[in-house]
Amino acid sequence: MARQEHPDSVAGRIVTGTAIGVGALAAAGAVAAAAVTVIFARTVVTPPTKREEDVRVLANDESTITLSATLDSMTPGRYSLWFGQESGHARVGEILSYTQDTVTRQLLGVDFGNLDSARRARFSGWFYLEPKDLGFAYRDVEVATELGPAPAWLIPAAGPTGRWMIGVHGRAVRRQETLRGVPVFHAAGYTSLLISYRNDRDAPATPDNRYSLGDTEWNDVEAAMQFAVDNGAREIVLMGWSMGGATVLQAATRSRLAKFVRGIVLESPVVDWVSALRFQGELNKLPKPLDRLVLGLISRRWAGFLTGQATPIDLGRLDFVTRSGELAVPILLLHSDDDGYIPVDASKALAAARPDIVTFEEFATARHTKLWNYDADRWNAAIAAWLDKLG
């Protein structure tokens, strides 16, 4: 006769097995969470090699293009449209019609590539590709940085005024982003120097090929300031888009040439990286405790072997809400309340902390770094008025 096992023994084995299973799942969950955290942290500091084409190209003819309806494709204005993994570029204009799922816009022109064969594309705020598109005389120059010569575009003012604007692009883009700022500064008598900086695919890369979110990139802005001073600049306005905003704030407060900075223009800027990265974590559905781990990874020296960074990032030094008292020159701050990438909250906080020097121009609907594209007249007028007050 088979021996009957005592119920308590059976229950004990079940509890033990369950505990082992739960423990294994918990361990697996911890490993997965750690992997996600490292991947996210590496993504933050690693220059991307490919951009997502998130808009479907449905039809086009000589003057119109029909696209899938997305937040970008449904935003009014003029934009770049990249397709074929950047092998093609077109320019699109205003919305002509739309349905629940599609939008038809003006097709202003195809600069290169075969749009007829394109199936997917992405929107960009660049619009202009080269200084010659603006109709001004310009020169290709090189800025001597600590890593080597970095290419830049120099668009001289109509006459020698001693006023220069240095344009600094954002994360994962290039100096073409800054071309939109040239006409309004040119009209105000400024020479424009549009720079490249480390790890942006134009300027020399660092050995680790990692972003520092402005914490080291500002050195290349300082090199551009030196170039400007050596070539006749007596007053400099620094203008930065997105991460470029974080970078020019560092230059304005840490550079030995800060005495030449007369003012700062910030477009969709990162004023505080902690709040920006937490927002990005939420956007990418990163569980709440993990966003703190991401911040820890990119700001700790021991984590460099995980993120690939040679040097940790000082996130406190990049917080200009807390450091607002260190700012000493007039600032024009342009930001859209529906940015969707860098939240407007830190910009509002900076404006509230320093109403004596900050002029805050708040847009709506324009999204991230596309304020000029959405409403060029208002964007140009805001900068022109601010420059006029700057004297």
pLDDT at 318: 98
Q: Structural domain boundaries of the chain?
A: 55-124, 131-390
The answer to whether the CB of 313 falls within 8 A of the CB of 340 is no
DSSP-derived secondary structure letter, 29: H
pLDDT at 29: 55
Tokens of 364: 């709506």
Q: How far, in Å, CA of 128 to CA of 366, rounded?
A: 18
DSSP string computed for 75-123: S-S-EEEEETTTTEEEEEEEEEEE-SSEEEEEEEEEEES-GGG--EEEE
> Which pTM does this prediction carry?
0.92
The answer to whether the CB of 69 falls within 8 A of the CB of 76 is no
Residues of the chain scoring pLDDT < 70: 1-31
pLDDT at 25: 35
The CATH number for 131-390, chosen from 3.40.50.2000, 3.40.190.170, 3.40.1190.20, 3.40.50.1820, is: 3.40.50.1820
Tokens of 118: 């394109």
pLDDT at 289: 81
pLDDT at 15: 36
CATH class assigned to 55-124: mainly beta
pLDDT at 254: 98
pLDDT at 285: 86
Alpha-carbon separation of residue 256 from 41, 261, 368 (angstroms): 32, 11, 31
